[in-house]
Chain A
Amino acid sequence: MGPPFLRLIRRRLLGALPSLVAVVVVTFLLTRALPGDPAAYFAGPAATPQAIEQVRKQLGLDRSLPVQFGAYLVALAHGDFGKSLTTGQNVGDDILARLPASIELTLCGLILALVVAIPLGVAAATRPGSLIDHSARMISTAGVSLPVFFTGLLLVYVFYYLLGWAPAPLGRLDLFSTAPPTVTGLLLVDCLIAGDVETFRAAAAQLALPSITLGLFSVAPLARMTRASMLGVLSSDFVRTARASGLSTYTILVTYALRNALLPVVTTLGMVFSFLLGANVLVEKVFAWPGIGSYAIEALIASDYAPVQGFILTMAVMYVGLNLTIDLLYGLIDPRVRIEA
């Protein structure tokens, strides 16, 4: 991982800048595009005319647009996302407090999806026309059609109400467990660090249904891409050479075929994340998950706009960061990208 890779990192970072700029600008414009008087919206429905004027001055809404943008950038640089009317806190603090919940949920959903989708795709590709192949294709089409909030509700109905296997969808922990000391904010990790097995199990039980819901949603595109990619790779010349060299089935399938087949799958992850971050919001509502998605929904309903702005910016910046990571990951696995003349 020498200079060529560092050059790649620098190039990709520079490439991500326009997206970052676009995101910041659009988010800024969105909040200035509010119907009626933006100051009134930020001051809240119960504000008096004087309060609205104060908010207007505070937010600099009486100044010209470019000046406002400058102030906005300065505020962002200081981590100032404004104040939430409903919680009374700084939006920045609120988001930071609730972010780990969303991250943990999304990560678990993604890991579940990968654990199911990739073997499914590989199995479907190595046994074309079989039952597994047809099932994989049906799951893919069904998965893309399922409304994620409906899936969540169905799972709650079947596994909580009917079967009693899952706990009540009340959030990250049930009423009887207490959270371990916060290290990362990810409950599972913190429980492991604190050695608290009971709470770990409780947290995992609460995580089960929402992350399965998210995961199911992502299995479809990942399985579909793995299958298609694997099919292509298995009929390639270099796999034929590997077979002719008498390598073991495992080596041919995994070291030769799968590693090559995963390249397009990594690229698909970008699109999967777009859907995942959006679906996150819906799942948080269904399962009363205290993440930034439900934070934004509650704020929207209460016409509290600063949190919504903060939420969109955070999600978008995370998305840009994720895409960047995917690009770099791809560069790490594919030497043809790394070693560019």
Chain B
Amino acid sequence: MSALLEIDNLSLDFRTRGGTIRALEQVSLSVAAGETVGVVGESGSGKSVLSFAVMGISDAAARITAGHVRFEGRELHAADLAKLRGAEMAMIFQNPRVALNPIRAVGKQIEDVLRRHAGVNGTEARHRAVEMLSKVRIPDPERRAAAYPFEMSGGMCQRVMIALALACSPKLLIADEPTTGLDVTTQAAIMDLIGDLARETGMSTILITHDLGLAAQRCDRIAVMHAGHLVEVAATSDLFDRPAHPYTRKLIATTPRPSVGLADLEPIPGSLPDLRGVLPPCRYSQRCERYEAICETTPLPRVDVGSAHVVHCARPL
């Protein structure tokens, strides 16, 4: 089964006045049709940067220095990405209320996407927009289509974003922290909605989150990132039963669970390294309790630990 999306050894830099930030280094990940892949890690681990690179909406200071992104087997260049965005690949963001145009009615914003990619106009666009709103389970969609983002709750705005993203039935949805800031009940409802819609159309989902628990619930496979490196990828159950990377084990240990009290959670020592200047081959080495001389070997080895279970570590668990 060929992958829908293949990120192959992707490296990305940011050129800034303070130096070159090596935000991503040799990240490889593939997403198959219909599956949900989680990308987890601390803030600043490069999860969002990766997704922006895939979508082609990186900051102007970003440069891809190595690797490719392939969608349905085709290598993506800037021009291709512009055509695929919104049509075959879509993205939803956190803080949905500020991620929508504040002075444009939400129905109109959905119509803009439909007009651009689905070639519909006028009344048909309006009907399909209302249809999308009801598909994302917004009550009274006819009236809501004329509403503005500031008149809606965070949860409803996120539904609108989902409607916007899914309007043209994309094959891939990237959800960047879609439930951060929402209350728990709304979180569950939003995640259920995404899951249901994905199952309906066979859409693949990349779920970016810092919440390992959420990823555990919703994802088929999970990729763990640290400081711009992909450190481990595995099927969800494999990841939790047999974590191969010391960082993954620590992450699991810090995830609040019913059986563990807050006081018993162990924090991960240290913090993310400065991504400018010279970095060791393993960017977790400064914080790792298993660090030894062998960890300085370049390049960092890629080890197959099980079926579809990959870890980038010189001393995997």
Q: What secondary structure prevails in chain B residues at the interface with A?
A: mixed
The answer to the question of B15 belonging to the interface, with a C-beta cut-off of 8 Å to chain A, is no
| C-alpha gap A256/B90 in the complex (Å) | 18
Min CB distance A261 to B, Å, is 11
CB distance from B83 to the nearest CB of A (A): 7
Residues of the B chain whose Cβ atoms lie less than 8 Å from the Cβ of A243:
57, 85
Q: Which residues of B contact A (CB under 8 A)?
A: 55, 57, 82-87, 90-91, 93, 95, 98-104, 112-113, 116-117, 148, 150-151, 161, 164-165
Q: Name B95's closest neighbour in chain A (CB-CB).
A: A237
Q: A134 at the A/B interface (Cβ < 8 Å)?
A: no
Tell me if A256 and B116 are in contact (CB < 8 A): no
Could you tell me which A residues sit within 8 Å of B by CB distance? 236-238, 240-248, 251, 255-256, 259-260, 263, 333-336, 339
Query: Which of A241, A242, A246 is in CB contact (< 8 Å) with B84?
Result: A246
CB-defined contacts of B116 to chain A, threshold 8 Å: 245-248, 251
Q: Report whether B101 and A260 are in contact in the complex, using a CB–CB cutoff of 8 Å.
A: yes
Q: Are B57 and A244 in contact (CB under 8 A)?
A: yes
Q: Which of A245, A247, A251, A335 interacts with B103 by CB under 8 Å?
A: A335
Least CB distance from A329 to B in Å reads: 13
Q: Does the CB pair B102–A245 fall under 8 Å?
A: no
Contact A240-B93, Cβ < 8 Å, known A246-B87, A248-B116, A256-B101: yes
Is A246's CB under 8 angstroms from B103's CB?
A: no
- Is A255 touching B112 in the complex (CB atoms < 8 A)? yes
Are A336 and B148 in contact, with the CB atoms below 8 A? Answer: yes
Q: Is the CB of A246 within 8 A of B100?
A: no
The residue that A238 contacts in the complex, of B82, B85, B90, B99, with Cβ under 8 A, is B99
Complex alpha-carbon distance, A68 and B101, angstroms: 55
**Chain A residues with CB below 8 A from B150, complex form:** 335-336
Chain B residues within 8 Å of A263, by CB = 103
On whether the beta carbons of A241 and B85 are closer than 8 Å, the reply is: no
Complexed CA–CA distance, A304 and B263 (Å):
87
Question: Which A residues are CB-close (under 8 A) to B148?
Answer: 335-336, 339
B residues less than 8 Å from A335 (CB atoms): 103, 148, 150
The CA-CA distance from A224 to B112 in the complex, in Å, is 30
